[in-house]
């Protein structure tokens, strides 16, 4: 005899619940969690190096940095900020269990801001909630201004777009307003910023944006499009 | 996305549920796949064909239903299906819309053949 069992559950329910729990736990202790996503080489690590120096005077910071292999990014960041490398052993994105485990190994477990530098990839990290309060996507000007529309899920689930390497704008055909407009077609609420981690242009605005987001979190106003 | 790991997770959940329900042979697994879930149905079906017999020792059927990406307008409250990833209300053109379906992959039903314990 056959019978049908009704289920109706999300296949990623457990991971989503863990991410939601991590987000609540971090908010309760006043830690803003920022998930930095981009294609490889968009400048996430260099932006974090500069951010750690500039923002480190005002807020306590910590970083979890994801890569398939090597500790190179953690070694770069270690002089500036408590950091743990998360090596995925081949996986192209981070998942919440890796973040939870890495967080437990951090020296500073009550930072004002915890940055998670995701594995460079504009596809898979879009589908994985890491318990962040804010997802920030970097788009470097050398990648081309037509990228947002090609990766709709990443842009739809992001809260802010940082156009990076703007010191190279004179040398590449990249229209900043086109890229911003393309991204806003997918996510109209997207906050947009432009930075050069080499010259420091836009870095003050970026740091102000982070400080405001941290203030909002402390007052219970954090919103995110990633979950 | 990662269709193989998703299928392995699906099979583990199916096994647990069937065992909790008193056991049986799984004849068919029915799932819904959202258009904005990041999961490709063809790849998911291929992964299921590869993984199911390895996991269960036999091959059940997989029925997939595609769920469109649907949004609700925050101004006029109408619902629209988004096909080109241009997030906009089809009624009033407003851009402030929230996703109401199409992001998830759901295990909906499991059809089992019960083992006859009475005899």
B119 within domain boundaries: no
Is pLDDT above 70 for A83?
yes
Give the per-residue pLDDT at A59: 97
Report, as an integer, the average pLDDT of B21-48: 96
CATH number assigned to the domain comprising residue B56: 3.30.2320.80
B21 within domain boundaries: yes
Is pLDDT above 80 for A21?
yes
Residue of B nearest to A148 (CA): B85
Per CB-CB distance under 8 Å, the chain B contacts of A17 are: none
Give the per-residue pLDDT at B96: 95
Per CB-CB distance under 8 Å, the chain A contacts of B116 are: 1
B55-93: per-residue pLDDT in tens?
999 999 999 999 999 999 999 999 999 998 899 999 999
pLDDT higher for B86 or B110? B110
**Domain map (residue ranges) of chain A:** 13-136+198-218
Give the per-residue pLDDT at A224: 65
Report, as an integer, the average pLDDT of A140-162: 97
Cβ neighbors of A14 (< 8 A, separation 6 or more) are none
Interface list for chain A against chain B, based on CB atoms closer than 8 Å? 1-12, 123-124, 126-127, 149, 152-153, 156, 184-189
Interface list for chain B against chain A, based on CB atoms closer than 8 Å? 1-2, 6, 9-10, 13, 17-18, 21, 27, 31, 36-38, 85-88, 95-96, 99, 104-114, 116
pLDDT tier, A90 (very low <50, low <70, confident <90, very high otherwise): confident
Sheet strands side by side (includes B70-73): B79-81, B70-73, B97-101
CATH number of A13-136+198-218: 3.40.50.300
- What distance in Å separates residue B78's CA from the closest CA in chain A? 18
Return the number of other C-beta atoms located less than 10 Å from residue A87's C-beta. 16
Range of the domain at B93: 3-113
Give the per-residue pLDDT at B119: 42
Interface mutation target, options B20, B35, B108, B116, chain A, most CBs of A under 10 Å: B108
- Exposed, middle or buried, B119 (CB in 10 Å: 0-12/13-18/19+)? exposed
ipTM of the complex: 0.91
User: Are the C-beta atoms of residues B110 and A5 closer than 8 Å to each other?
Assistant: yes
B118 within domain boundaries: no
Domain count, chain B: 1
B101 within domain boundaries: yes
Cβ neighbors of A16 (< 8 A, separation 6 or more) are A10, A129, A227
Per CB-CB distance under 8 Å, the chain A contacts of B99 are: 156
């Amino acid at each position: 005899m056959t019978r049908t069992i009704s289920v109706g559950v999300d296949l990623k329910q457990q991971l989503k619940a863990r991410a939601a729990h991590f987000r609540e736990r971090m908010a309760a202790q006043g830690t803003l969690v920022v998930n930095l996503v981009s294609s490889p080489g968009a400048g996430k690590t260099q932006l974090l190096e500069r951010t750690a120096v500039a923002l480190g005077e005002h807020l306590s910071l910590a970083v979890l940095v994801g890569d398939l292999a090597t500790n190179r990014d953690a070694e770069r960041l270690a002089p500036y900020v408590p950091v743990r490398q998360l090596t995925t052993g081949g996986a192209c994105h981070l998942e919440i269990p890796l973040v939870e485990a890495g967080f437990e190994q951090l020296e500073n477990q009550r930072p004002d801001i915890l940055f998670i530098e995701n594995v460079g990839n504009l596809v898979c990290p879009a589908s994985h909630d890491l318990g962040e309060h804010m997802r920030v996507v970097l788009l470097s000007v050398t990648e081309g201004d037509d990228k947002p529309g090609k990766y709709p899920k990443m842009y739809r689930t992001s809260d802010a777009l940082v156009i990076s390497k703007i010191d190279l704008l004179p040398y590449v055909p990249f229209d900043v307003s086109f890229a911003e407009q393309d991204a806003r077609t997918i996510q109209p609420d997207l906050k947009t910023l432009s930075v050069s981690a080499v010259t420091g242009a836009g870095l003050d605005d970026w740091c102000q944006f982070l400080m405001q987001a941290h203030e909002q979190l402390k007052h219970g106003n954090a919103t995110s499009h990633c979950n | 996305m990662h269709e193989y790991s998703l299928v392995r997770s699906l099979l583990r959940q199916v096994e647990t549920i069937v065992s909790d329900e008193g056991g049986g042979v799984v004849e068919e697994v029915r799932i819904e796949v959202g258009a904005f879930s990041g999961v490709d149905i063809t790849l998911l079906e291929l992964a299921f064909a590869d993984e199911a017999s390895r996991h269960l020792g036999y091959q059940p059927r997989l029925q997939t239903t595609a769920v469109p990406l649907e949004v609700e307008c925050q101004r006029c409250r109408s619902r629209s299906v988004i096909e080109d990833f241009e997030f906009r209300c089809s009624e009033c053109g407003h851009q402030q819309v929230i996703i109401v379906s199409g992001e998830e992959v759901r295990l909906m039903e499991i059809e089992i053949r019960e083992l006859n314990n009475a005899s």
